[in-house]
A and B are shown apart, each in its own frame.
Chain A
Amino acid sequence: MTTTVSRSDGNAAHWLPTGAEALPLLDAKQIGHLRHIGNLARQLDGDWSRMGWIEAGQEYINAYRYQLAWMAYALGIAHFHRLPGAPGAFKQSYAHLMRKMLRYDVWNYWEHTSKSGPFFDADLTELREGWRDPVVKENIMYSGHVHAMAGLFGVLFDDDRYEREGGLTFEFKPVFSSGAESFVYDLTSLNEVIYWQMVESGFLGIACEPNMVFISCNQFPMLGFRFHDVRKGTEFADEVTRAYHAAWERKGWVTNDDFFAYYYVKQDYTVGAENSYSATILNSWNPEFVRDLYPRQLEKGFIEPEPGMLLPRPRLITGEYVEKFERPDSGVGLAALWFSEMGDAERLEKILCYADTYLNPTWEKGGLYYPRRDEFYDADGRFVYVDPWVGNALIAFSRMNVPDGLHKLYSQPWDKAHFAEPNLADVSPFIDVLRAGYLSDASALVVTVQADASAKGRTAQLAFANSAQGSGQWVLERDGARLLAGDGASVNVHDGSVTGSIEDGLLVLDLPVSGATDLVLWVNQ
């Protein structure tokens, strides 16, 4: 069998198909962020190494839920925009993050927080009766992320595991006391719970902490509604976003200082909270509004500590909320998110330059992150505070994002045809995927892989889905040399250093990998 499709004569290696040069190729830092997220995702359940913070109760903004959610979003954005042909590079890690997200460690704060208190409601005369179910009412700071994460999983991987009955079950299993409980949901029942709370709120949104409604946290269910619509053919997102926009037009999106509001429900009172976080997510469904505000909001809060660097003005980027409660802020990471979504490459580069210069970028087990540091300023007066939300997730997301990345994911998700294309469906966890995209004109899936530093030369396993297209005949090449050929049922090995087989409909390749290796799966030959 001969390969007859055209090959590129451009800058790409001559054995690569036409169009391969346009496929995104991850750089070392991007690969490092994905590796670090994978490392954290694969930690044993209950091992929260590198994710702890000074606040012990999982209530504040560095809680596990925020880290897990934003690491999942980082994986999602990376898969969707940069490595669309490699679901296998993301799916397992994403599922690990999701499993951790459902763990009691992550949501057990709610039984206490749901009692409310003067922190949330100055007019409260006695505590409420708390409840354990973390998604049934309020707590959108958790349920909104579960909603978005579960929906995004289906949208990215065409996998219904969280959509099946009981797919989102929250279990309380005390060791010594009695009273085990399971709170059983799935994507649709969670979608309903959140939708009806939106209705009941007049579409101003659902409280995080009791009595406190944040614009930021209410954007994640907007993603959840949209992803539910994509998966289930429903029409929640249009209704909710339209009504939500109208409700906040009446209430006033921003305070006088152009910070997005948070809202004390009982007191019917709004306070400026922050700008970058809300704007980033709001851009997914309301980009014109966000871009209209962007210049005004930018004016408020940045300094250039050195040429080529940018830093949020202390305690301004995150507004009154942080000021009031005297907590550290995550401004560097939040600003990076914002710039990445706005496509403001110059500012993004400057703030990442600051992070790379002064926030101690650290490589560990092939992964890149910014370790926690609790002091605000070093001996030279430089801002050096890093919390694990920023260091594990937010900068990673910002590096993986593309301009309007969330907006594109929201407005143009993959259709069924995408999932029928050849793709890298699974890959050994020690393999980094640098490039993965299917070129339909060439009928070729291009994948570039390398082993992480600890696994050079190890035999990796890669599984390809949908290799039998058209004629059913396919050829798999490595750096231009034929490794395997075959069809949907059989495999001919052309290189003794590898093995290949068809298992459960997947083309499974075992090959030794060290440095960057280009693989091309030519289909319909």
Chain B
Amino acid sequence: MATNRVKIGGAFELIDHHGQHVTDRTYRGRHMMIFFGFTHCRKVCPETLGKMSDVLDRIGSRAEAFAPLYITVDPERDDPPRMKEFLETNFPRFTGLTGSKEQIEAVRSAYKVFAQRAADEDDPEGYAVPHSALVYITDRSGQYLTHFNDGAPTEKVVRALQAVWES
């Protein structure tokens, strides 16, 4: 009798920030580095995207083996142009992915990501989407390998990505 294990990740169909239809298969051959967030996020997303960009800088040419993806949990506001503007200005290593509400819900659920719309105290007209702050790493065939939380020291993530690259 096999041991019950938690399955993380899986197939997805989304739109990248260039407006191209993509799936998990689009990134086969590279390790997906997936972070979920929303472009109106003021703290967690900028910090994590910045940190991971720094990590990728530090592993040099090995970064080519990774596909840094930023999947929105706010498809209502994060359309491809909005994501493109946000990422190309601030975090150009990352490709933004968005989709229909159902598509986003499916990929969010597959990666066990928490995201819940809430009032934004600093923007009464808008809203926030508090969300998980995990960065997922897959193998080159799209299977979940590991993840990092937002408290993981940069050095540790650098070492881990080097180990993933060498594996």
* Alpha-carbon distance A133/B4, docked complex (angstroms): 10
Is A189 within 8 A of B5, CB to CB? yes
Query: Does A362 reach chain B (CB closer than 8 Å)?
Result: no
Is A185 within 8 A of B4, CB to CB? yes
Is B130 within 8 A of A239, CB to CB? no
Is B3 within 8 A of A166, CB to CB? yes
B5 proximity list for chain A (CB < 8 A): 189, 192
> In the complex, how many angstroms separate the beta carbon of A258 from the nearest chain B beta carbon?
25
* Alpha-carbon distance A202/B5, docked complex (angstroms): 21
Which chain B residue has the least Cβ–Cβ distance from A133? Answer: B4
B6 proximity list for chain A (CB < 8 A): 189, 192-193, 196
Query: Does A200 reach chain B (CB closer than 8 Å)?
Result: yes
Query: Does B112 reach chain A (CB closer than 8 Å)?
Result: yes
A133 proximity list for chain B (CB < 8 A): 4
Which chain B residue has the least Cβ–Cβ distance from A193? Answer: B6
B28-53 vs A: 1/0 string, CB under 8 Å? Answer: 00000000000000000000000000
Interface set, chain A 330-386, CB cutoff 8 A to B: none
Please judge, given known A-B contacts A199-B134, A243-B149, whether A136 and B114 are in contact too, CB under 8 Å: no
Please judge, given known A-B contacts A239-B149, A242-B151, A243-B149, whether A201 and B114 are in contact too, CB under 8 Å: yes
* Alpha-carbon distance A242/B3, docked complex (angstroms): 29
* Alpha-carbon distance A133/B5, docked complex (angstroms): 13
Is B1 within 8 A of A196, CB to CB? no
* Interface size range on B against A: 10 to 19
Query: Does B163 reach chain A (CB closer than 8 Å)?
Result: no
B1-39 vs A: 1/0 string, CB under 8 Å? Answer: 111111010000000000000000000000000000000
Q: Which of A189, A201, A243 contacts B3 (CB 8 A)?
A: A189
* Highest count of chain A CB atoms <10 Å: which of B1, B2, B8: B1
Which chain B residue has the least Cβ–Cβ distance from A195? Answer: B6
Query: Does A183 reach chain B (CB closer than 8 Å)?
Result: yes
B1 proximity list for chain A (CB < 8 A): 166, 169, 182, 184
Which chain A residue has the least Cβ–Cβ distance from B130? Answer: A202
A243 proximity list for chain B (CB < 8 A): 149
Query: Does A186 reach chain B (CB closer than 8 Å)?
Result: yes
> In the complex, how many angstroms separate the beta carbon of A270 from the nearest chain B beta carbon?
15
* Alpha-carbon distance A189/B7, docked complex (angstroms): 11
> In the complex, how many angstroms separate the beta carbon of A137 from the nearest chain B beta carbon?
10
> In the complex, how many angstroms separate the beta carbon of B1 from the nearest chain A beta carbon?
5
Residues of chain A at interface, number, CB under 8 A: 25
* Alpha-carbon distance A165/B5, docked complex (angstroms): 11
* Alpha-carbon distance A196/B114, docked complex (angstroms): 10
A192 proximity list for chain B (CB < 8 A): 5-6
B151 proximity list for chain A (CB < 8 A): 238-239, 242
> In the complex, how many angstroms separate the beta carbon of B162 from the nearest chain A beta carbon?
19
Q: Which of B2, B8, B114, B149 contacts A202 (CB 8 A)?
A: B114
Query: Does B55 reach chain A (CB closer than 8 Å)?
Result: no
Is A199 within 8 A of B2, CB to CB? no
* Highest count of chain A CB atoms <10 Å: which of B2, B112, B130: B112
Query: Does B158 reach chain A (CB closer than 8 Å)?
Result: no
Is B3 within 8 A of A184, CB to CB? yes
> In the complex, how many angstroms separate the beta carbon of B109 from the nearest chain A beta carbon?
8
Is B4 within 8 A of A199, CB to CB? no
B3 proximity list for chain A (CB < 8 A): 165-166, 184-186, 189
> In the complex, how many angstroms separate the beta carbon of A248 from the nearest chain B beta carbon?
13
Interface set, chain A 128-150, CB cutoff 8 A to B: 133, 136
A202 proximity list for chain B (CB < 8 A): 114, 116, 130-132
Is B4 within 8 A of A136, CB to CB? yes
Q: Which of A186, A189, A197, A200 contacts B113 (CB 8 A)?
A: A200
* Alpha-carbon distance A182/B8, docked complex (angstroms): 22
A242 proximity list for chain B (CB < 8 A): 151
> In the complex, how many angstroms separate the beta carbon of B7 from the nearest chain A beta carbon?
9
Is B8 within 8 A of A200, CB to CB? no
Interface set, chain A 430-467, CB cutoff 8 A to B: none
* Alpha-carbon distance A186/B5, docked complex (angstroms): 10
B112 proximity list for chain A (CB < 8 A): 196-197, 199-200
Interface set, chain B 101-153, CB cutoff 8 A to A: 112-114, 116, 130-132, 134, 149, 151
* Alpha-carbon distance A294/B149, docked complex (angstroms): 32
> In the complex, how many angstroms separate the beta carbon of B22 from the nearest chain A beta carbon?
24
Interface set, chain A 167-211, CB cutoff 8 A to B: 169, 182-186, 189, 192-193, 196-197, 199-203
* Alpha-carbon distance A199/B133, docked complex (angstroms): 9
* Alpha-carbon distance A199/B115, docked complex (angstroms): 10
* Alpha-carbon distance A203/B150, docked complex (angstroms): 13
B149 proximity list for chain A (CB < 8 A): 239, 243
* Alpha-carbon distance A202/B2, docked complex (angstroms): 29
* Alpha-carbon distance A493/B149, docked complex (angstroms): 60
* Alpha-carbon distance A147/B118, docked complex (angstroms): 32
A184 proximity list for chain B (CB < 8 A): 1-4
Which chain B residue has the least Cβ–Cβ distance from A202? Answer: B114
Is B4 within 8 A of A200, CB to CB? no
> In the complex, how many angstroms separate the beta carbon of A266 from the nearest chain B beta carbon?
11
* Alpha-carbon distance A165/B114, docked complex (angstroms): 30
> In the complex, how many angstroms separate the beta carbon of B159 from the nearest chain A beta carbon?
14
> In the complex, how many angstroms separate the beta carbon of B137 from the nearest chain A beta carbon?
15
- Given A192-B6, A196-B112, A242-B151, output 20 extra A-B contacts at Cβ < 8 Å: A133-B4, A165-B3, A169-B1, A182-B1, A183-B4, A184-B3, A185-B3, A186-B3, A193-B4, A193-B6, A196-B8, A197-B112, A199-B112, A199-B114, A199-B132, A200-B113, A200-B114, A238-B151, A243-B149, A250-B130
27 interchain pairs, CB-CB under 8 A: A133-B4, A136-B4, A165-B3, A166-B1, A166-B3, A183-B4, A184-B1, A184-B2, A184-B3, A184-B4, A189-B6, A192-B5, A192-B6, A193-B6, A196-B6, A196-B8, A197-B112, A199-B112, A199-B132, A200-B112, A200-B113, A201-B114, A202-B114, A202-B116, A202-B130, A202-B131, A238-B151
Top 4 A-B pairs ranked by shortest CB distance? A202-B114, A200-B112, A192-B6, A196-B112
